[in-house]
Amino acid sequence: MQQATLSSPPLNQPAPDRQAAGERVAARLKGQVRGRIYTDPLMTYAWSGDASSYRLIPAVVVFINSEDEVRAVMAAARAEKLPITFRAAGTSLSGQAVTDGVLAVLGDGWRKLDIHPGAEQITLGPAIIVANANRALKPFNKKIGPDPASQATCKIGGVVNNNSSGMCCGVAQNTYHTMARLRIVLTDGTMLDSGDEASCAAFRQTHASMLQAILALHREVMADADLVALIRHKYRIKNTVGYSLNALVDYHDPLDILIHLMVGSEGTLGFVSEVTYNTVPEHPFKSTALVPFPDPQSAGRAIIEMANGGVQVTTGVTAAEYIERRALATVEHLAPMAPLLPWLTNNSPAVLIDVTAPDAATLDAEVEKTVALLRRHGATHVDFSTDDVRSHALWDIRKGFFASAGAMRPKGSIMLTEDVAAPIERLADFVTDLRQMLDDHGYEDAVIFGHALAGNLHFQMGDDFSKPGSAEKFDVFSKALSDLVSIQYGGSLKAEHGTGRAIAPFVEAEWGSKAYGLMHRIKALFDPEMLLNPGVLLSADEHVHIKHLKVMPPADELVDLCIECGFCEPACPSHQMTLSPRQRIAVTRERERLRASGEDPALLKRLDEDFQYPGLDTCAACNLCSLRCPVGIETGTMVIGQREQRRGTTARSVAGFAADHRGAVETMMRGGVALADAARVVVPAAAVEAITDTARRLTGDRVPRVSRALRHGPGTPKPVETRQDPKRTGFPVPIAQSGRQSIVYFPSCATRMFGAPKSEHDLLDVPAAMLALLERAGFDVIVPEHLNGQCCGQPFQSKGFPEQAASVGGELKRELSALSDAGRLSVVTDASTCAKHLREFPGDAPVLDSSQFLLSHVLPKLTMTRKLPVVAVHHNCSAQRLAEQPMTEAIAAACADRVAVLSSVTCCGYAGDKGLFFPELNAHATRFVRQDIPDGCTLGVSTVSTCASGLSEHAGVPFVGLASLLEWASRPQA
């Protein structure tokens, strides 16, 4: 049976008819979908890549939020003869989430998360991130079965559609085996909910012929003993090549078969709108070790014994990750690897092992058995530990191999990855043969690692497809890989990444013509028009795996190592509003490619111009993306650099004027907000906001927005009684009291300019609270005498004015150095952004952030006099990058019976003054924050005043400074 195909346009030059069709789809959907729709060159290019090595520019990108919108997109695409690809997180590694047709991206409407009584089941929408589902289940010592390495980013929709597994999942705990219910939308618009009797009964009536055809396929397979044996053999190990033919053997009711065929179908049969999982135990007792072996063969033999004949267990060895020596070399500079280095030779692989148990005694017994097994097979160093911090650090290294090993490739090349599996009893030989084959085909840079208990190995390597002959080399290699894995070892060419475009030409070679014919018949039953994801999973094009390959030319040294994995995206406040870090990098690369080639000046000009708002203006430059990136890429720093490049003479003159007159600027800003505060006394707050919003529209957003949550700050705090230091003319010191320690306190400019919203707790502003706390803890406080206009330089740095930042910051650092006697005295500030900037651009006096200093030097000296029932805590971006979360939570815990950390907010998007000039970024970043505020919570805390303002506007409760809360909780009672 021939598959219908749609021709694809050359990269970066969509065919006019396809462009026009995309515009017509957008026109048809106007008013039918509430999400954004894009057809412009910049945004369609931004969505042209997933985590794979393929790039296709969609004709139109549309965000969908409901089943009705899915139906509307299907109808519009059908009318314009464009294919549809559904996209969740875009972490697909085989090219499943890209298209040159309609790219339907999951919006916020698919975030359902419902834990059933007893937590034996959980119902999830396709936009839920896997790690968030497991976080919700953790209090019940439960988790969902699939546990891919990308679980902090990937979403349930992709997990179901690829039948993803992972480190501990094995074969028995993937979606196919742990799914209790599935809700789907077929191409004809029909919704089927397998957990709803009425829905199933109606479907049996309306789709009787489809079910009858599925039943006929089942009977045909069951009558063929050889085919049944092949199917059972293929699913003894991990296998995501082609459709889930095991459904035709495992089930007899055609409706059950249909539902299970949807799992792993890669968006080619229908749309998954909801899934209910049977949860699996997450035992609370665990011990972890990274164990080196003298050679791959001995490691392979140990894994074969630990694999327990392929039987999945929840007690004992639940994970064993094989990591070859070349892969270890890419991470051996990381601190958790240090204890292992003396035991590694040039050929030493290591195995990362988890032993889990329901109780401590069982864990000890299982660890003892495992240690004996490992030593029996020649392990050179065995050191199991129950230390959670160490375990997480080791697993973070393993989960990051995809990106960290990819970052070792030469600049300009792309990262290629495959995941294969062989019967576990042949693992030791398979490791050796796979390594030899990679070397023989010129991929000596490749590294191998993987979920060895399931016979599953990943490998990845780099190649530059802009060079002649590289695609042909990859084609020859792919065919040799197919022969080695599918024929010689009877394994799986794709164990868990899905078939995608990468393996579509090799499905028949792996399965044989009879099984392959079944797959085409399944596709025809579900999608006779070939509307969904053509070229994925099944393809008549034997070269589809070497078409539309990405090129990644060097564009900026800061980001050239990026492999576009998308791990950064959940941390980004502008993701799905404008661009994510991955997309900013991809578009920057394309702009630089066009600049270098000179091939399309008009397109380059438009991309450069259009990049301003989504690429530069709405980037918070918080660099939280770097914390999610396994190689620490700071996209925000790249953006700051591009802002600097775009600053003209006028902008630099304005920045210079502001730097020279920052005292006046501070007074004006504080006065403007104070005027708005005063206006609210006689004019409703909503009216004040409406006036400023109107002014913003009339001036092209050049006038800052003033919200009801933004209050004027206290300005320079009242000075502590001082005398002049005779050794340093002009510098005050506190009047010394016997035995008291002196400290320098710098109230940040943001804290001076912007105050906290009103609350019911009679709180002091942050500078007054800091002074009260320091006095209460027995410190003599030195405050710079002329504070108005004093600034660390961070606002200038973030806007792309490094010279002004250095000038302004240098002046402050000189004063702090003098006040602290060149660092002899401690210096503390009250805003995490200032502390971080002063740490990155240090002077003579190291500056401590308030949370760090209050926890270590102030809290132990306080007597707590009252507590809140619950307080919400936001960890702003600078606090996260300073790793201050435990400190902030410890202080909050001293002030409240319960601490509720905001889980839906990373960076709040206020980003200095972006909350004033681009308030939509703050609104987008905090759009779910009300869900994080527990009942009875009347107050939240942050360590940056502007963040507190943005959170106060959207959270429904006032957010204040950490010092203000601590002062209230320790205030002596009358």
388-436 pLDDT tens trace: 999 999 988 887 776 677 677 788 888 888 899 999 888 889 989 999 9
Of the candidates 708, 778, 718, the one whose C-alpha atom is nearest the C-alpha of residue 742 is 778
User: What's the pLDDT score for residue 499?
Assistant: 96
pLDDT at 706: 62
What value does the mean pLDDT take over residues 495-506?
A: 95
pLDDT in tens, 196-255: 999 999 999 999 999 999 999 999 999 999 999 999 999 988 999 999 999 999 999 999
Question: Which has the closest alpha carbon to 262: 181, 359, 343?
Answer: 181
> With bands split at pLDDT 50, 70 and 90, how would you rate the model's confidence at 2?
very low
pLDDT tens per residue across span 102-131: 999 999 999 999 999 999 999 999 999 999
Name the residue among 569, 665, 713, 747 with its Cα closest to residue 46.
569
% of the chain residues with pLDDT over 70: 89
- 275-279, 339-343, 450-454, 818-822: least confident range: 450-454
Residue 686: what pLDDT?
A: 55
> What's the pLDDT score for residue 505?
97
How large a percentage of the chain has pLDDT more than 90? 71
Q: Per-residue pLDDT for 944 more than 60? A: yes
Contact 387, 290 (CB under 8 A): no
Return the higher-pLDDT residue of 314 and 117: 117
Once rounded to an integer, what is the mean pLDDT over residues 767-795?
91
Contact 89, 131 (CB under 8 A): no
User: Of 744, 814, 733, 736, which Cα lies nearest the Cα of 774?
Assistant: 744
DSSP 769: H
722 phi, psi to nearest 5 deg: -135, 170
d(CA 726, CA 732): 9
Q: Which residues fall within 8 angstroms of residue 469, CB to CB, at 6 or more apart?
A: none
Average pLDDT over residues 259-275: 98
Is the model more confident about 7 or about 931? Answer: 931
Cα gap 12→568, rounded to integer Å: 25
| Cα–Cα nearest to 421, from 450, 461, 462 | 450
For strands 741-746 and 779-782, give the pairing.
Answer: parallel
* Straight-line distance from the first to the last Cα atom of the chain, in angstroms, rounded to the nearest whole number: 87
Number of Cα atoms under 13 Å in the Cβ half of residue 576 = 25
Q: What pLDDT, on the 0 to 100 scale, is given for residue 677?
A: 46
**In 10 A of CB 432, how many CB atoms?**
14
Kindly indicate the confidence band of residue 690, based on its pLDDT and cuts at 50, 70 and 90. Answer: low
Nearest-angstrom CA–CA distance, 276 and 700: 48
Give residue 16's pLDDT band: very low, low, confident or very high (50, 70, 90): low
Number of Cα atoms under 13 Å in the Cβ half of residue 739: 2
- Whether 730 has a pLDDT exceeding 80, the answer reads no
Rounded Cα–Cα distance for residues 406 and 416 (Å): 8
Model pLDDT, residue 6:
33
pLDDT for position 692: 52
Rounded-to-integer distance, Cα 299 and Cα 724, Å:
71
578-635 pLDDT, tens digit each: 999 999 999 999 999 999 999 999 999 999 999 999 999 999 999 999 999 988 899 9
| pLDDT of 655 | 67
Residue 191 main-chain phi, psi, to 5 deg: -100, 135
For residue 813, report the phi and psi dihedrals to the nearest 5 degrees: -65, -35
Give the mean pLDDT of 653-672: 62
> How many other C-beta atoms are found inside a 10 Å radius of the C-beta of residue 572?
28
**What integer pLDDT is reported at residue 4 of this predicted model?**
33
Residue that the structure tokens 């929840």 belong to: 314
Say yes or no to pLDDT of 554 above 50. Answer: yes
Residue 523 pLDDT > 90, yes or no?
yes
- Rg over CA atoms, the chain: 30
Q: What is the CA 581 to chain-centroid distance, rounded? A: 10
Per-residue model confidence (pLDDT) at position 583: 98
Predicted local distance difference test score (pLDDT) of residue 332: 87
| In 796-891, beta strands by DSSP E | 827-829, 847-849, 871-873
pLDDT digits (tens, 9 = 90+) for 782-835: 998 888 888 888 888 888 888 988 998 899 889 999 999 999 999 999 989 999
Question: Pairing state of beta strands 316-323 and 447-451?
Answer: antiparallel
What average pLDDT is seen over the chain? 89
Nearest Cα residue to 557 out of 412, 406, 414: 412
**Weakest-pLDDT range from 21-25, 691-695, 759-763:** 691-695
Sheet holding 84-87, edge to edge: 37-38, 60-64, 102-106, 84-87
Give the relative orientation of helices 513-526 and 208-222 as an angle to the nearest 10 degrees: 170
Does residue 14 carry a pLDDT above 70? no
Give the per-residue pLDDT at 294: 95
| pLDDT at residue 707 tops 80 | no
Q: Is the pLDDT of residue 3 over 50?
A: no
Q: Give the helix/strand (H/E) hosting 840.
A: helix 832-840
Dihedral sign (CA 924, 930, 931, 932)? positive
Q: Does 9 have pLDDT greater than 60? A: no
- Band (pLDDT 50/70/90 cuts) for residue 915 is confident
Q: Across residues 916-924, what is the average pLDDT?
A: 93
Cα–Cα–Cα angle for 782, 786, 789, rounded to 5 degrees: 120
Q: Which helix (H) or strand (E) holds 201?
A: helix 197-206
Question: CB burial class (10 A; 0-12, 13-18, 19+) of residue 645?
Answer: exposed
Q: 12 pLDDT exceeds 60?
A: no
Those residues whose C-beta lies under 8 Å from the C-beta of residue 799, and which sit 6 or more positions away, are: 640, 643, 655
Minimal CA–CA distance to 932: which of 883, 872, 881, 877? 872
pLDDT at 755: 76
Q: Is 131 exposed, middle or buried (0-12, 13-18, 19+ CB in 10 A)?
A: middle
* Angle CA 722–724–726, to nearest 5: 145
Please state which of the ranges 51-65, 406-420, 763-777, 780-794 shows the lowest mean pLDDT: 406-420
Residue type, 721: E
pLDDT, mean of residues 539-568 = 93
CA angle 918, 920, 924 (to 5 degrees): 135
Contact 590, 45 (CB under 8 A): yes
β-bridge pairing 121-124 and 779-782 = unpaired
Of 165, 187, 163, 144, nearest in space to 247 by CA: 163
| Residue 568 scores a pLDDT above 70 | yes
Q: Which residue has the higher pLDDT, 622 or 722?
A: 622
pLDDT for position 702: 58
Cα separations (Å) of 266 from 93, 293, 533, 735? 12, 38, 8, 73
Across the range 829-849, mean pLDDT stands at 90
Query: What pLDDT does 8 receive?
Result: 36
Cβ–Cβ < 8 Å for 941, 892: yes
Task: Return the pLDDT at 402.
Answer: 67
Q: How far apart are CA 865 and CA 135, in angstroms?
A: 34
Half-sphere exposure of 198 (CA within 13 A, CB side): 0
Q: What is the pLDDT of residue 397?
A: 84
Torsion of CA 250, 251, 252, 257, to 10 degrees: -130
DSSP lists the bridge partners of residue 281 as 142
- How far apart CA 898 and CA 889 sit, in angstroms, is 10
**674 pLDDT higher than 50:** no
Question: Greatest CA separation found in the chain?
Answer: 101
Looking at residue 700, its pLDDT comes to: 61
Q: What is the pLDDT of residue 729?
A: 41
